[in-house]
């Protein structure tokens, strides 16, 4: 029974890792669509979103099977419950990539981003994909040390998000309210994407140790 549980739990973590990989790829495509005004690529991200929803349902089914068939207790139960929470975090990451693609589609053929901020979003897109890749790694290796490191990796995203407001509040901003709204919303989408990657890391820490990151730091 124990071997069966370990195999099913590893399969669930692998499925969750694959989902993170998929939403990271979706954010990479959405960013490209945003920067290049590529309507076809934006439509591809939007149409592929159903795949994320299907995989979320499959992962939840795997977690329910673990609960029903393996009757986990203590640490095992903690891991399964964390699995449900992880599905939710990854779902939200996919939804944020979808929002970016929809902005690119809605404004087509107009250019969404003024030149002053395009570079910010190129870097935010790169960081988002990197965070997703790191989240996949910690999901699969269940190394809480890696997870703790990932939790600090969104600092650069937060800095870029703050700088966006500096640019928009400058007297030189000449692109009007609509562009400012788009930039504000898009900046928030990327920031939240990073936040959910960090929440994945927090849940992996709890899954692996039974403690929050703050409790681990206090103990050390």
First to last CA, the chain: 35
The pLDDT, as a whole number, for residue 50 is 92
pLDDT in tens, 35-55: 999 999 999 999 999 998 899
pLDDT in tens, 75-111: 778 888 888 999 999 999 999 999 999 999 999 998 8
Q: 197-219: string of b/e by CB count within 10 Å (b at 16+)? A: bbbbbbbbbbbbbeeebeebeee
Question: Residue ranges per domain, the chain?
Answer: 2-219
Structural fold of domain 2-219? Methane Monooxygenase Hydroxylase; Chain G, domain 1 (1.20.58)
For residue 1, pLDDT beyond 60: no
pLDDT in tens, 198-209: 999 999 998 888
- Kindly state the DSSP code that residue 172 receives in the 8-state scheme: T
């Amino acid at each position: 029974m124990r071997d069966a549980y370990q195999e099913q739990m590893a399969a669930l973590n692998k499925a969750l890792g694959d989902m993170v990989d998929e939403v990271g790829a979706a954010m990479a495509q959405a960013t490209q669509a945003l920067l290049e005004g590529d309507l076809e690529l934006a439509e591809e991200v939007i149409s592929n979103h159903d795949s994320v929803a299907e995989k979320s349902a499959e992962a939840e089914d795997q977690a329910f099977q673990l609960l029903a068939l393996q009757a986990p207790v203590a640490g095992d139960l903690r891991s399964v419950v964390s699995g449900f929470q992880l599905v939710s975090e990854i779902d939200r990451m996919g939804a944020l990539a979808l929002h970016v693609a929809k902005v690119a589609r809605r404004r087509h053929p107009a250019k969404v981003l003024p030149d002053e901020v395009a570079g910010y979003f190129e870097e935010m897109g790169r960081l988002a994909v990197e965070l997703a890749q790191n989240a996949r790694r910690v999901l699969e290796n269940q190394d809480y040390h890696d997870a703790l490191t990932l939790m600090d990796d969104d600092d650069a995203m937060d800095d870029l998000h703050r700088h966006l407001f500096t640019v928009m509040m400058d007297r030189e901003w000449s692109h009007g309210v609509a562009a400012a709204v788009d930039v504000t919303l898009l900046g928030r989408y990327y920031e939240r994407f990073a936040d959910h990657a960090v929440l994945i890391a927090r849940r992996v820490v709890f899954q692996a140790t039974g403690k929050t990151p703050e409790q681990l730091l206090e103990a050390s």
